[in-house]
Every structure is written in structure tokens, then in C-alpha cells.
Amino acid sequence: MKGLIQRVNHAQVDVAGQSVGAIDKGILLLLGIEAKDSSDSADKLLHKVLNYRIFPDEKGRMNLNLQKTGGGLLVVSQFTLVADTDRGLRPSFSCGATPEYAEELYNYFLGRAKTQFSPLACGIFAADMQVSLVNDGPVTFMLET
């Protein structure tokens, strides 16, 4: 499972011109699910996302996690994160989970996140989404489990 996290001052996801999820300060998580992933992978990634120290403390050092800052979490599914780009000029998605399995794990991830964290917002699985954000820093990290 891959998660691209971005520290944001604001992030929003729209579908068909309507906002379906938005946060102010916090983390935008773009979530990619591979065929080999499991609920264990999802739990590990969620733990990393909630506890990864990417927010500044009083000295400006990245020592605080999302839970310490009171920021929001916006989760957006993004299958292109699991693309194999090693060869040629066209990405391969052979490592990606099937849409049915990916949606199951995406919903599992969201369910677990809802029990552990608030405020939480999300996109709509497999929808044509427009994501806008103001990246703070910019601070962006790729997390994998």
C-alpha cells in the first residue's frame, strides 16, 4: 500500500463540480492499493499517517504528528500511485489491486480511520475527482507498507 502524504493549509476534493470533502490544516493522503495489500497493510499505513512527524514544533522542527496538531485528514484513492513506470513510456498497472478489492480495502482504511481520528474527509472511490490543495512547506512524503 502506498500513501503520498502532503502537509496542507487547505485541501478539497470535488466531484462533478461539488465539494465532497475538504480540510483546512492537516494532511492530504493520496492512497494507492496494490494486489498484494491486506487489512494489515492498511492498518500499518494508517498508523504511519497519523503518527508521522511532519508538523513543526515551537522551534520549527518537524516533531509533531497529525494527532498532536488537531489538523484534518483528507483521504483520496489514487490508483496511479501503484503504476510501474520502470519501462517504456506508458505506465503499467499490473501491480494494482482489482477495482473491487481496492474499494474493499479503501473502505476498510476509512472505517479504521474514522474510529481513530477526527476530523476526517474523503473522496469518492473511482470517481473522476478534482483535488485542490495548498501544500504547506512544501512538505510531501511517500509512505509504503
Task: Choose the catalytic residue: 6, 12, 55, 78.
Answer: 78
User: Burial, 3: exposed, middle or buried (Cβ in 10 Å; 0-12, 13-18, 19+)?
Assistant: buried
Instruction: Say how far apart CA 133 and CA 139 lie, in whole Å.
Output: 12
Task: Choose the catalytic residue: 6, 12, 55, 79.
Answer: 79
| Contacts for 108 with CB less than 8 Å, ≥ 6 apart | 39, 42
Strand ranges inside 53-98, DSSP E: 55-56, 62-64, 72-77
* CA dist 62 → 5, 117, 123 (Å): 14, 20, 27
78 is an active site residue = yes
Q: How many CA atoms lie within 13 A of 27 on its CB side?
A: 32
80 is an active site residue = yes
67 is an active site residue = no
Contact indicator for 75, 2 with CB cutoff of 8 Å: no
Task: Choose the catalytic residue: 67, 80, 85, 130.
Answer: 80
Instruction: Provide the annotated active-site residues.
Output: 78-80
